[in-house]
Amino acid sequence: METALLIVSILLIIIVLLQSVKADGGPQIISGGQSELFSNRKERGSELVITRITMLLGLAFFVICLVSMFI
């Protein structure tokens, strides 16, 4: 179980680092500047695949943590 958790953790870190930066104006968010953070951007192609893989790995991480807690 711990091996699976380690593998999922490493894959989750790698896939998050592969994602494109959506919040280009990070400092502007804090200072209250005009930002397009919440604009409607559709994900297509590889971005959509990476987002879905991230969600699946996050869910797997959560489930493995819950299962290992009760074992």
Q: Can you give the residue range of the structural domain that contains 2?
A: 1-19+44-71
71 — pLDDT class (breaks 50, 70, 90): confident
Does residue 33 belong to any structural domain of this protein?
A: no
* Claim: this prediction has a pTM higher than 0.75: no
Q: What is the pLDDT of residues 8-65, one digit of tens each?
A: 999 999 999 988 665 555 555 566 555 555 556 677 788 889 999 999 999 999 999 9
Distance (Å) of CA 60 to CA 39, 48, 49: 29, 18, 16
Q: What is the DSSP string of 14-55?
A: HHHHHS--S-TTHHHHHHT----TTS-----THHHHHHHHHH
Total domains in the chain come to: 1
68 — pLDDT class (breaks 50, 70, 90): very high
